[in-house]
Amino acid sequence: YQAKSGGDSVATYDSTRDAASTDQLALLAELREALQTDDQLVLVLQPAVDLATGAPTGVEALIRWRHPRRGLLSPADFIRAVENSDQLGSFTRYVLDKALTVAAGWAGEGLDIPISVNLSARSLLDPRLPSEIAEALCRHQVPADRLVLEITETVVMSELEVIDQVLSALRAMGVQLAVDDFGTGFSSLSFLARVAVDELKVDRSFVLRMGDSPQAAAIVRYTVGMAHELGLRVVAEGVETAAQRSALTELGCTAAQGYHFFKPMPADKIAAVLNSLARQTPTNVLPLRADG
Ligand code: C2E
Ligand code: MG
Ligand code: MG
Ligand code: MG
């Protein structure tokens, strides 16, 4: 929200903030309604692909709010408000329920692909989370290891004692954990040393700058190397160009996600895309590298 207020004069600061917080309250009241309907909060889905074969390695669920008056809202417009409200629990359950509905549909089509759901770090402070997730998996008959929970490490470090139990319970159930936006937190490595995870997602900012920043390229290379050494999967986020794709392959990265492959798409499109990816040969999916 600081990006939106834009005013730099101290005199207008308070009124801007008041207006902003009044609007947040209105938004939260509207969210309460949206959580009761079935068509306002929708998931779009973005596959990640294996860089060598083009096969889908997973699909990430991303929330959108089709607001009746405000138009289409992306997470940046409302997630922060939800996280700081008493509706985070209902919101998290709603997203998980929608995501598992999608995943359950794939099983019916013979697609065996994990679905990734983004969790707000704060929801890991709720000791009821593991049993709620267990219940949802059971209700949708989705095996626990088909669910990947994406968490960002920044907020979490300060509360690590508290969330240790929640994360251990989730791991014991067989749910997979991914560190999202890896490298952007203040304590990424401490987080990795403490929490057993299955996957690292290299933040888009490094992928974006990799081409002209030796620093960014080194960060990607070392993240990929470390992931391999630790036996973790690694996925590069935000890949937009063929040049980025080949650079990632050269750095040893094996999986990627981004507009270059797929933009997030509506739930009713995803099964057809996954089916066609599964049927195609690798060379049909991704053009061969010039040097390959
Ligand atoms: P994220 O988990 O790091 O998701 C990646 C974001 O990058 C998504 O933005 C996606 O649409 C976008 N993206 C994917 N490929 C590209 C690309 O090639 N180029 C560019 N420029 N962007 C790309 P989105 O959907 O706006 O989500 C933003 C953030 O909001 C997510 O970042 C995630 O942290 C959070 N979020 C999304 N859905 C949920 C949710 O259901 N619950 C919670 N708690 N957070 C969510
Ligand atoms: Mg994510
Ligand atoms: Mg991310
Ligand atoms: Mg990111």
pLDDT of residue 288: 44
Q: Which atom of ligand 1 is nearest to the CA of 237?
A: 15
Q: Ligand 1 pocket: which of 35, 41, 62, 115 to mutate (most atoms <8 Å of CB)? A: 62
- CA 177 to centroid of ligand 4, rounded, Å: 16
Chunk the chain into consecutive blocks of 10 residues (it has 292) and report each block's average pLDDT, rounded to whole numbers.
42 60 91 94 97 95 97 96 95 98 91 95 92 98 97 72 88 96 83 90 97 96 96 98 96 96 96 84 47 37
Q: How far is 79 from 76, CA to CA, in rounded Å?
A: 6
Residues in the chain: 292
Query: Which of 44, 60, 95, 118 gets mutated to test ligand 1 (max ligand atoms within 8 A of its CB)?
Result: 118
Please tell me the predicted confidence (pLDDT) of residue 235.
98
Q: From 95, 80, 79, 91, select the one nearest 42 (Cα to Cα).
A: 95
Tell me the CA–centroid distance for residue 68 and ligand 1, in Å.
22
Residue 199 and residue 235 in contact, taking contact as beta carbons nearer than 8 Å: yes
pLDDT at 289: 44
Span from the CA of 10 to the centroid of ligand 3 (angstroms): 34
Q: Tell which atom from ligand 1 comes closest to the C-alpha of 82.
A: 44
Residue 195's pLDDT is what?
86
CA of 162 to the centre of ligand 4 (A): 25
The rounded distance, in Å, linking the Cα atoms of 255 and 47 is 10
